[in-house]
């Protein structure tokens, strides 16, 4: 994100993250942007996420 709210890649455009922050902030949800969403681990495709959680196999979440 550029210091002036402009896009670092396309300077003529407004930064999408500035827009996202402003919209989230206006709804009192700016903190949600700090949450890390981990990518899907396709190696465990088809396994129950609930069972993995209960068996403490997802401690890194």
pLDDT (tens digit, 9 = 90+) per residue, 3-42? 688 998 998 999 998 999 999 999 999 998 888 777 788 8
pLDDT at position 36 is 75
Which residues are bridge partners to 6 per DSSP? 14
pLDDT at position 60 is 63
| Higher local confidence (pLDDT), 49 or 6 | 6
Buried b (16+ CB within 10 A) or exposed e, 39-51: eeeeeeeeeeeee
Q: Looking at residues 29-56, what average pLDDT do you find?
A: 84
Q: Looking at residues 40-51, what average pLDDT do you find?
A: 85
Distance between CA atoms of 36 and 47, rounded to whole angstroms? 22
pTM above 0.75, yes or no: no
End-to-end alpha carbon distance in the chain: 27
């Amino acid at each position: 994100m550029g210091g002036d709210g402009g896009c670092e890649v396309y300077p003529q455009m407004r930064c999408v993250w500035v827009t996202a922050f402003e919209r989230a902030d206006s709804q009192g949800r700016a903190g949600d942007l700090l949450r890390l969403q981990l990518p899907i681990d396709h190696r465990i495709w088809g396994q129950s996420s609930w069972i993995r959680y209960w068996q403490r196999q997802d401690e890194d979440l």
